[in-house]
Structure 1
């Protein structure tokens, strides 16, 4: 007797429940401090029991790490400047605008992550890896441009990349609740500052 294998045509019940937990977590972490969100809150928001929650995530921090992973993927997808040669100022601005918009949209989650990192080695390691990947890609681009004669060689590429991250993060931390006009101003400022830091005056 032949056995017919049914092909899955959509997400499983487990997939849907995991997605519901993440959606509930996104809303809760966007509205409340990390410490005030409980497992019961996450389970209730997803419409499942506390016991069911643990089938999908072992801890509250694991849920936050999953959300941060999604944010990290979205940020990486917008890194159009890193693959360009030379100053490519328009692409630099596009990359900054994309990341600034994502940062503003996820400000609550990022704030919760900053709090959780104090007690979660897993989350610290994850955020550290994301930052290192960004700095490495920035440094690779700067080295190409140094070799091509467009970028300054007075400062090593890896240090310039670290300086870009510091400038960017400090400005992005001010964007929670920013208007569209304020976000555009921040992006313009960062584009100018980073361009001058690496390539000098336009």
Structure 2
């Protein structure tokens, strides 16, 4: 009789251990200072054991970031809305800000790894396109400005947001809420004009 597995496999747990170790190490040290041996040792594995799960250090960081982006993608309620929808924009920004604050050490990594840079480029492009699609729909409805192309507006929004989130690693809840309110108002004014910013 075949026994049906009811929990994570040993391999799943070892991979999770590597990712947990990476989250801690990349928060405490610059990415380029962390070695494969550091990751393997922190996860309770040999160097050979590490390579069974990940081929590079960049692959570990990419897998870790992918987890965060999957969570973030599920919170993009404003992108699916119609019109200014300020409450949904604030909800989306707050989810993003909280995730960034919790995982700032990992999300702010600036590694030399081409693998990670390419991943970040793809993720940013996907996010900007979703934002641009939302703005384009609102431009067609006549609620959003048409003086700037939707994709350019989306890129501006991303740059404004990311610059502010980079300052939020140690922010209090009040500071985080204030930052979300500021960014939400800036986006509303940029895309829809001052009459919809409140």
Same fold (TM over 0.5): yes
Aligned residues: 195
TM score, norm. by length of structure 1? 0.93
Could you tell me which residue of structure 2 aligns to residue 103 of structure 1? 100
- Unmatched segments (≥5 aa) in structure 2: none
From 163, 168, 171, the equivalent of 2:161 is: 168
Most deviating of 89-98 and 144-153: 144-153
Could you tell me which residue of structure 1 aligns to residue 123 of structure 2? 130
d(CA) in 2 for partners of 1:120 and 1:29?
14
Could you tell me which residue of structure 2 aligns to residue 28 of structure 1? 25
- Unmatched segments (≥5 aa) in structure 1: none
Could you tell me which residue of structure 2 aligns to residue 53 of structure 1? 50
1:18-59 deviations in Å (ceiling 9; x for gaps): 011101111111122112212122112111112211111111
d(CA) in 1 for partners of 2:38 and 2:128?
36
d(CA) in 2 for partners of 1:111 and 1:153?
33
1:81 aligns with 2:45: no
Could you tell me which residue of structure 2 aligns to residue 140 of structure 1? 133
TM score, norm. by length of structure 2? 0.95
1:152-196 deviations in Å (ceiling 9; x for gaps): 111111111111011111111111111111111110100000000
d(CA) in 1 for partners of 2:8 and 2:98?
29
Other structure's SS at 1:131 match: helix
